Structure 1
Amino acid sequence: METARTERWAKVVDQTKCIGCHACTTACKSENEVPLSVTRTFVKSVDAGRFPNARRSFQVTRCNQCDAAPCVTACPTSAMFRRPDGIVDFDKSACIGCKACIAACPYDAIFINPDDHAAEKCNFCAHRLDIGLEPACVVVCPTGALTVGDMDDPESEVGRIVAREPVQVRRAEKETLPKLFYLGAGEVTLNPLAAENPGGDIFMWSDQGAGVGHHVPSGSPPSVRPASSSGPRLENGRRGNGRAPDRTPSGNASSAAAVISYDVPHRAPWDFRVSAYTFTKSLAAGAYLLPLLLGVFGMMGADGPETGWSNPLWLTWAPVTALAFLLVTAGFLIWDLDRPARFWLLLVRPQWRSWLVRGGFVITGFGILLTLHLALGLAGRREPTVWIAWLGAPLAVATAVYTAYLFAQAKARDLWQSPLLAPHLLVQAALAGSALALVLLSLADFPAEGAMLVGSKWAFQAAVVFHVALAFGEATTPHPTAHARLAARNMLRARYAGPYWTGMIATVAGLVAVTVTAGSGTASIMGACAALVGLLLYEHAYVQAGQSVPLA
């Protein structure tokens, strides 16, 4: 008995036929009621060469319907899901607006609908395919540049083209197994960094500035004169001459120079709230771990190590401080959601491959444990607080480091794919916890205060040294991809260099201030606070630079 075979839908874009008319874009907007300012599909234009040997190339850009879709893995509520026929579809009723799918997509194909604040993208007009109709873009294309079909059917046109023609896919190195194939496309369009950003962000029909949302410039940075040089001032305050750059992305004069002539605005999914969340999470984890370490090494007991667990720093201050910053962390996470009223869906319909879900349950478990610890501490029950520390320590460590795995699921962001990120986050938690302890011990009276100040000072010095060393390693280690190199450049020498270097200088200055003092007093408090401010600035530069590279 034969079983019914399920199609595996794929699409072929024949760029040799595309005339850049944007009919597919308008048809998609009409069919799917896509609002202004966002697009499920658009046509990028790139001008290559020099007059008279110049030409304009087009690229139809949309969701790649990956067989190993990173957006499906990253989505915490299964709002993004893969159908049996290979179409990656979405369920708006399940979306919480976390933007993890946007961070994960290497093709910049997902957006937040400004009307209902849910994530959406091209789904091959699945509602039309289900009733035997072709997608709207395929129907309207005047030159037949778009073809949709079953790629597993050797008799289908798509199956024949994929099997016999030299088709290409975008960013094959991401191993997402895309099913959007390009025929006759060039490197200048397929590679988002191959063409330069036009001088002054002057495109064919528009002037696109940094004020467009949380802006990510298109293409590689232009090698024209900087904004302070001569040239007419644009309305957005920049300078430019309206001409294509004089050099290729490699920096060498060439008759094959390429410049983007039309693109849509792009924006990074996560703003300062995610930067702040990573900082407050470090404070929450460090506020618990540092007193725990002081107790383990016998530095909290006024009458011997065995009495240290009765110290108020452990019994009440540690859980209160950690719980307070954990609540602030949860507040930043919920605030960042485009649908904050639906945050509870993350807990009631979890998709367990998502590190947003795993991290959410880690934070919830840590918060429950801190509440129990605080209740026991207020009741003067020393022994149970030591017992639950066997669970509290791994939960605190997990709270500190799980973001490394969340960022790793953002496959589009090459800067975040570092194996050093998890240990670096743990070091940042140690830095935050020890700085916080120095402030608390300098402002309030505790038993064994002298020993705890010494221990906190040692921990602070070690954490700052390791933090600076890991940050220096991130800055100097050769990055394996062009996207990671451009993100590192934006962090160290371009858009986010200000907060990055200010943060590093403030952290080192804090280390000096704490080192030259006895560990207490105004200088020590100012040094610890300077290090905390420096850590926050570093976090912001790192998070934002990772999203500053164009993907389409």
Structure 2
Amino acid sequence: MTRLGFLLDSETCIGCHACTVACKSEHDIPLGVNRTWVKYIEKGEFPDTARHFSVMRCNQCENAPCMDICPTSALFRAPNGVVDFDDNSCIGCKGCMNACPYDAIYINPETNTANKCNFCNHRVEVGLEPSCVVVCPTHSIKVVDFDDADNEALGILRREHLAVRSPEQGTAPKVYYRGADEASLDPLRTAIRGDGLIWADVTPDHPTPPTDEADLIARTTYTTAHITTWKAKVSGYLVTKAIAAGIMFFASLMVLLGHADQTAKVGFVPGLLGALFLLVTGILLVADLKKPTRFHLVLTRGNTSSWLVRGAYILGIYAVSLGGWLLAALIESSQILSVLAVPVAVLAACTAGYTAFLFGQCEGRDLWQSRILLPMLLVQAVAAGGSVWLISDVLVGMPEPTVVRWITIGALTASGILVLLEVFGDHSPHVAMAVRSMTRGDQRKLFLTGVLGGLILPIILLAGSLLFDSAATTLSFVAGASALVGMWSYEHSYVLAGQSVPLS
């Protein structure tokens, strides 16, 4: 067999969970996580009600986004077409969990590595069927062999119109559903109600879409919980990276404006701040890994299709450029600073913006697929850099503070316009739910803090600093601090809201 998939027959499935138990036994899977599980939904009103079962698992995608984003190729395609994993290569970055649009990947709490259904490849390779296929009492789980013309499941697939989950994601899933109710395959059309689940307590990690009752056509009565993977460290990384990039935009601008001879103020101070915040960015990234001692594998075993790896290269090159900038400042060479100004500014833009492409590889998080994200990251870097520049002005008297105030006001205003476009734009159901979570749901306070404290208040304070010279430095300091705190708050609401929409 060379290309494999599953046919899951909901018409004959009795919801017995034998597949789940067999899978856990076969792979010694810890409690609280699953490679396969049975989702129950109920429809109708008493006495005309019905319960529907659907088996959930990895879809063995032809265009697997988890493989693209994995920085160390710990997720790879086996010769038989199965997407398999290698525990020895995984660094626990959790990128694959956000890339998967099916909630099929989890972090094994015993190994701290990403695991998923691998089609029982150790069995398939010796001619055996997956354990779930063997144990299913109604033969509702069938192996599809796309290269075997006599394969039973392939014959059904050719004769009948079968459903797949989330075809709009373009992953070309190879798990097909026969007779599945549409609501059981669409996590946005069903929700856990107030009286909870059967056989399980509802936790905050259980999938409940932030939607209106009118959009629901069924209730979920049994499913599994899925944790939020990227949290405060990722939000913090977005801010520290923006500062590290933005401060050097202003340093380069000052050199181009003729201040290269002030090597301490346009060379050493911003260069040191940029390097320190870049260091903090790296620390946050490594600290967020489930296997932080393996972080070097990103460089030694890097998958160059992953923007985690490309981003690491960009950060590394940017770090070298900052080293050159600091060296030029230490030897008081205005000529070298002038030569480095444009390349450093370009690398700063790359550092600020690459995360848009990384988030773009997270196919499971539609909010992060926005075309607005790249310009947002760039203007946020300018706003963050301007804020730190104005805070530094209180201590060392940085050059051209008035110019920096105007540019920062412009960056904050542009950020506000982009936020409005994000909130009030025309969205898909997934994005609309994420925006609702951010603006009216669990992240509302963070979002409002980001808008009011990170955009509106700093703009007012900076405008005041332009009008009142005597208080300009103080107002600018407060504005800069408020902008940075508000930026983290907005980023945190954005990161969490993107992960709030259920996928299974």
Q: When the two structures are superposed, what TM-score results if normalisation uses the length of structure 1?
A: 0.88
Partner of 1:235: none
Q: Which has the higher helix share?
A: 2
Deviation of residue 356 (structure 1)? 0.3
Partner of 2:201: 207
State the secondary structure of the residue aligned to 1:13. Answer: strand
Partner of 2:503: 551
- Is contact 2:255–2:338 with CA below 8 Å preserved after alignment? no
Structure 2 CA distance, aligned partners of 1:17 and 1:442?
A: 72
Q: Which amino acid aligns with 1:203?
A: L
Deviation of residue 443 (structure 1)? 2.2
Count of aligned residue pairs for this structure pair = 499
Deviation of residue 167 (structure 1)? 0.9
Q: Which amino acid aligns with 1:470?
A: L
State the secondary structure of the residue aligned to 1:93. Answer: coil
1:464 aligns with 2:412: yes
- Aligned with 2:442 (options 491, 495, 501): 495
* Comparing 461-470 and 377-386, the one that deviates more: 377-386
- Aligned with 1:108 (options 98, 103, 108): 103
Structure 1, residues 270-294: CA drift from partner, whole Å, max 9, x if none? Answer: 1111011011100000011112123
Partner of 2:221: 261
Instruction: After TM superposition, list the pairs within 5 Å mapping 1:218-297 onto structure 2.
Output: 218-221=207-210, 247-249=213-215, 257-296=217-256
State the secondary structure of the residue aligned to 1:520. Answer: helix
State the secondary structure of the residue aligned to 1:182. Answer: strand
Structure 1 CA distance, aligned partners of 2:261 and 2:49?
A: 76
- Is contact 1:248–1:258 with CA below 8 Å preserved after alignment? no
Q: Which amino acid aligns with 2:215?
A: P
Instruction: After TM superposition, list the pairs within 5 Å mapping 1:301-450 onto structure 2.
Output: 305=258, 307-446=259-398, 449=399
- Is contact 1:10–1:150 with CA below 8 Å preserved after alignment? yes
Structure 1 CA distance, aligned partners of 2:429 and 2:147?
A: 34
Partner of 1:97: 92
Structure 1 CA distance, aligned partners of 2:348 and 2:449?
A: 28
- Aligned with 1:186 (options 173, 181, 184): 181
Partner of 1:86: 81
Partner of 1:177: 172
State the secondary structure of the residue aligned to 2:88. Answer: helix
1:529 aligns with 2:460: no
- Aligned with 1:137 (options 126, 132, 142): 132
Structure 1 segments unaligned to the other structure (5+ residues): 1-5, 224-246, 251-256, 299-304
State the secondary structure of the residue aligned to 2:138. Answer: coil
Structure 1, residues 119-139: CA drift from partner, whole Å, max 9, x if none? Answer: 010011000000000000000
- Aligned with 1:76 (options 51, 54, 71): 71
Deviation of residue 386 (structure 1)? 2.0
Partner of 2:490: 538
State the secondary structure of the residue aligned to 1:16. Answer: coil
Deviation of residue 149 (structure 1)? 3.3
Partner of 1:474: 422
* Comparing 496-505 and 287-296, the one that deviates more: 287-296
Structure 1, residues 373-412: CA drift from partner, whole Å, max 9, x if none? Answer: 1122111122122222332122110000000000000011
Structure 1 CA distance, aligned partners of 2:62 and 2:77?
A: 8
Structure 2 CA distance, aligned partners of 1:222 and 1:368?
A: 47
* Comparing 307-316 and 466-475, the one that deviates more: 307-316
Structure 2 CA distance, aligned partners of 1:338 and 1:532?
A: 28
Structure 2 CA distance, aligned partners of 1:60 and 1:395?
A: 47
Deviation of residue 266 (structure 1)? 1.2
Q: Which amino acid aligns with 1:357?
A: V
Deviation of residue 248 (structure 1)? 4.3
1:10 aligns with 2:2: no
Deviation of residue 198 (structure 1)? 1.3
Structure 1, residues 71-121: CA drift from partner, whole Å, max 9, x if none? Answer: 000000000011232100001111000011111000010000000101010
Deviation of residue 531 (structure 1)? 1.2
Partner of 1:240: none
Structure 1 CA distance, aligned partners of 2:203 and 2:9?
A: 32
Fraction of identical pairs, as percent: 41
Q: When the two structures are superposed, what TM-score results if normalisation uses the length of structure 2?
A: 0.97
Deviation of residue 192 (structure 1)? 0.7
State the secondary structure of the residue aligned to 1:521. Answer: helix
Structure 1, residues 490-530: CA drift from partner, whole Å, max 9, x if none? Answer: 00111101100111101211111121123733222112111
Q: Which amino acid aligns with 2:462?
A: V
State the secondary structure of the residue aligned to 2:345. Answer: helix
- Aligned with 1:66 (options 44, 61, 64): 61
Structure 1, residues 411-442: CA drift from partner, whole Å, max 9, x if none? Answer: 11111111111111000000000111111112
- Aligned with 2:47 (options 23, 34, 52): 52
Partner of 1:253: none
- Is contact 1:453–1:520 with CA below 8 Å preserved after alignment? no
- Aligned with 1:125 (options 120, 126, 139): 120
- Is contact 2:210–2:441 with CA below 8 Å preserved after alignment? no
Structure 2 CA distance, aligned partners of 1:445 and 1:428?
A: 23
Deviation of residue 166 (structure 1)? 1.7
- Aligned with 1:486 (options 419, 426, 433): 433
Considering only aligned residues, what root-mean-square deviation do their CA atoms show, in Å? 1.4
Taking a change above 3 Å as real, the CA distance of residues 261 and 248 of structure 1, as seen in their structure-2 partners, is: farther
Deviation of residue 222 (structure 1)? 7.0
Structure 1 CA distance, aligned partners of 2:184 and 2:365?
A: 20
